[in-house]
Structure formats: structure tokens, C-alpha cells
Amino acid sequence: MGITCRLNHFAPRSIGPTLLLGLSTMLLLSARRSSADGLNDSGPWTRDLCSYKWEAIDQHNKVKYTLKLCESSPDTTCGVGVAVCAVNLTTQKGQSVGEVSLQKLSDTVWDFNTTSQCNGSTTNVQSSISFQCGKTMGTPEFVTVSQCVHYFEWRSYAACKNQKFKPAKEVPCYVFDTDGHKHDLTPLIKMTTGYLVEDADNSVDLYINICRSLGRYPNVQPDRDNVV
């Protein structure tokens, strides 16, 4: 099952003020904002990511992961203290594959260990998230499981060495369809402009964006709180 989005382009009008609005969308069904602002022992570049609970899917093995990166983040479905929760979608049984208290952040690799020993091995069950620089907040993507280590990749502006792509505001931008497939909607985000909306009122230009505050326009100061 797929999702089809159609966006029409309209030529900008030359008259009237420009009204800048951000779109707080229904596309954010899979993430919840945390009410706490504090971090655990992680670096400041992770602050934006710690505000939400994240999800990833192993479609082949029918396993859904929920991720709690920091103490301040919303809890996973496995309960308090679990950083990475793996739920078998067939049996609906959950298992911790990473604990918040057993985390290690090294450069752009974030590891979460457990005290559960891997069957047939001397190592413990754990998760490892590899971050790369990206233009948006991004979303964690499941890669593989090898020797009881659950690997994820994540492209995000939070991992960039500078703040070149950091917006005034951005929220998680993905959805799951009824078949359990994850759809990344970040390609719809406008980095520097917005989508001009067709309007019968010729005196106003209405712009919107998806999941992110609008970029700067000539002689216009965008509202930095226009995405919630």
C-alpha cells in the first residue's frame, strides 16, 4: 500500500503582503513531544531528537521498534528505562534491546546496552545507532540484526558539524500505513521556501511547509513558532 501526495505549484503574486504559515500536520501520528527539557548524559547536538519517541520497522521479521533516546524522552512500549523496545508484530511480545542507563555516545554512534546475554554468545543484547549529517531531522531506519546487536542508521541535521541545516523548528515527519509500512515524508520539506497555496483572495500570498518552519523570504521575517 502506498501513499500518494500531490502538490501543485503556483506562480507568486506581485501584490499584497506575504502571509507565512507553517503547517502542523496530521502526518506526525508516530511521534509525541516530551514535556521535559533535560538531557541525560548525551551531548547538546542530540537535544532536538530527545524531545520525541521514535519508531522504526523491520519489515522482513515483522518487528517494530520504539526508541527513547534520553531520560526526558517519552517512554517506549516496553516501559520506563527502556531505550530501544522491539515488539514482535505477530505475537505482540516486547523485548528490551537497549537500556537508557547503559548508553554510550561516541562521536556519531549511539550505543544502548542491556544486561541480557545473547544466546550462544558472551555478549549482551544491544542496539547501535549510526548518525550521519542530513538536511532534515530525519528518522531512524532499521538496518539489520547481527549477533544480537540491532543496527540503525539516521540521517539528521543534528549530526552535522555546523548548524547549516538546523531550522527554527522541525518535528518528526513520517507515518505508518495500515500495512505497517513506514513512509518517510521529509522529501516534501521545503528547505528555504514554502508551498504557495492557491487562494481566491488576491491581496494575500499564503505559504505553507511540511513539518518545518518556513525559510526566510526577501523583506519578510517568518514566524519561528509556526510549526508545533
DSSP for 43-86 reads: -GGGTTGGGB-EEEEETTTTEEEEE--STTSPPBTTBTTBSEEE
The predicted structure's pLDDT at residue 82: 97
- Predicted TM-score (pTM) of the model is 0.68
Q: For residue 5, is pLDDT > 70?
A: no
Give the Cα separation of 45 and 130 in Å (integer): 14
Question: What three-state secondary structure class fits 227?
Answer: coil
Average pLDDT over residues 167-184: 81
User: What is the CATH code for 44-166?
Assistant: 2.70.130.10
Per-residue pLDDT of 54-73, as tens digits, reads: 999 998 999 999 999 999 99
Give the pLDDT of residue 196. Answer: 82
Q: Is the pLDDT of residue 14 over 60?
A: no
Rounded to the nearest integer, the mean pLDDT of the chain is: 76
Domain residue extents for the chain:
44-166
* pLDDT at residue 41 greater than cutoff 60: no
Least confident interval from 4-18, 98-112, 165-179, 182-196: 4-18
Q: What is the pLDDT of residues 198-225, one digit of tens each?
A: 877 777 778 888 888 876 554 444 444 4
Local confidence band at 44 (pLDDT 50, 70, 90 cut-offs): low
C-alpha to C-alpha distance for 149 and 71, rounded to whole angstroms: 22
pLDDT of residue 178: 79
Share of the chain above pLDDT 70, in %: 74
Give per-residue burial for 1-26: e unless 16+ CB within 10 Å, then b: eeeeeeeeeeeeeeeeebebbbbebe
Report the pLDDT averaged over residues 60-88.
94
**Three-state SS at 101:** helix
Reply yes or no on whether the pLDDT at 32 is more than 60. Answer: no
Residue range 121-159, pLDDT digits in tens:
889 999 999 999 988 888 999 999 999 999 999 999 888
